[in-house]
Amino acid sequence: MSQISYVFIRKIYLDQIGDQVMSSVKSISKQIDASYLNLLELGMPTLSTSKYFAEIFNNNLSDDTTNAAFLFNADFKVYVHSHTNFKSGREYSQLMLFKEEFIKLKEGESAVTLPFKGDDGDWYLLSFFRIRDNIWLGVRESAYRLERVEDFSKIFWLIGISGTLLTILTGWLLSRSITQPLDKLVKFSNQIGKGDFSTSVLKNLRGEIKQLAGAMEKMRDDLSNNQKEKENMLAQIAHEIRNPLGGIELLTNLTKEDLAKGKVKEEYLNKILSEINSLKSLISSYLNYSRPSPAAPSLTDIAEVVDEVKNIFQNEIKRKNAKLELNMELSKLWFDNSHLKQIVTNLFSNALEAIEINGKIKIHSFAKDNKNYILFNDDGIGIAKENITRIFDPFYTTKKDGTGLGLAICKKLCTENKARLEAESSVGTETAFRIIKESNDE
């Protein structure tokens, strides 16, 4: 940029002074009497002829700019010069440098040379005007301000170098301000990869780096929670499996003793099979929770799903003489069919267990404020306030034979389908579960 500025200023100055010297040479040429040119063509000028030209030249010279004028021929010999110490017939050797510029001119044409340094070290421009076939008028114009322009060049180069160094320094500082936090984020992620979830991310970050750090911190917390969840699950699995295995071991030993006596109690075998089925059910629940099948959403008929689930529990409904109120204002929902059936089955089963004889269960689906709802209400025993926040936690249960995974699985399946599962309850009055899904999540 600095070099462009220098070139631009230099060009403007040279164009200006070039126009000026061109104007001077044309102006002087118009003032010359042709008869005196005829005398020059006959030979070297007489005293009166020299005096005539000296007067014209001096009238057009300026101390600041135009400081020399002269007439010369193709052999570089000067007829007459404005400087009195420049003798007629003397060869002006400097003209050899510009022979091409003045030789190609036709009569009445003019040209300007590029700037050059004179014997005194100052800058000059020459302008030529072809007056006759072998007579040219030359005007030398001072370009002393070009020295200042050249000084600008040095300044511009200095500015350019300084700007480049400043850019490099700024770039280095900027890259350092980015790479240092990134290096620490890499270290942070490596610690997480090694299972160290206690490490903390950098503070006082800004912009996108801060957002990245926040995302990584959330990832750390999620991984930490998942790790704790897995550890709790393993401990719970060990506990839940140990009890049935103990019963199976005891019953197997009793059966072994009976075999030695030549008799087998069918009661023991039935209990062994029952315990094995309990184990299979328990393992299936753990697998469903830890690895739920990915959602494959489709436009699912809610009433059809509810009707299928109702038929599964028909005997229990009759036994408790349960009153069902079904209101399907919203007929279809974008949801994985098997997931919705599993959720409805679990919530329906819990409601049936909670109500007394002649109890009431309501299922209501509707749309409101760009949200789709499926509500489950029962007038059963309710859930204590201190327990309502824990019912979706894995392994939390108040049932004697429950795994504590039913509602946890339901919540996870809702999340898989971009939905939420919420609960409200009052002890002794009613319990309400809500499946909520945004209308545009399709």
Show me where the domains of the chain are located: 2-143, 147-291, 298-438
Q: Distance between CA atoms of 21 and 420, rounded to whole angstroms? A: 88
DSSP labels, 205-217: --HHHHHHHHHHH
> In terms of DSSP bridges, do strands 419-426 and 371-378 run parallel, antiparallel, or are they unpaired?
unpaired
- The burial class, CB within 10 Å (0-12 / 13-18 / 19+), for 138 is buried
The one-letter amino acid code at 232 reads N
Angle, helices 2-31 vs 145-193, to 10°: value is 160
Selecting from 3.10.310.70, 3.40.50.150, 3.40.50.720, 3.30.450.20, what CATH number does the domain 2-143 have?
Answer: 3.30.450.20
- The burial class, CB within 10 Å (0-12 / 13-18 / 19+), for 125 is buried
Domain 298-438, classified CATH 3.30.565.10, yes or no? yes
Per-residue pLDDT of the chain (442 residues; tens, 9 = 90+): 555 666 676 777 677 777 888 888 898 989 999 888 888 888 778 888 889 998 998 888 876 667 889 999 998 999 999 888 888 888 888 888 888 888 999 999 999 888 888 777 788 888 899 999 999 999 988 777 666 666 666 676 777 787 788 888 887 777 766 676 666 667 767 777 766 666 776 666 666 666 776 777 777 777 777 777 677 667 666 766 776 777 788 878 888 887 877 777 788 788 888 778 877 877 776 776 767 778 899 999 999 999 999 999 999 999 999 999 999 999 999 999 999 999 999 999 999 999 999 999 999 999 999 999 999 999 998 888 888 888 888 777 777 666 778 888 899 999 999 999 999 998 878 899 999 999 876 6
First to last CA, the chain: 55
| Residue 128 host element (H or E) | strand 123-132
The one-letter amino acid code at 421 reads L
What DSSP character marks residue 93?
Answer: G
| Topology match between the domains 2-143 and 298-438 | no
The answer to whether residues 107 and 132 touch, using CB atoms and an 8 Å cutoff, is yes
Length of the chain: 442
| Residue 373 host element (H or E) | strand 371-378
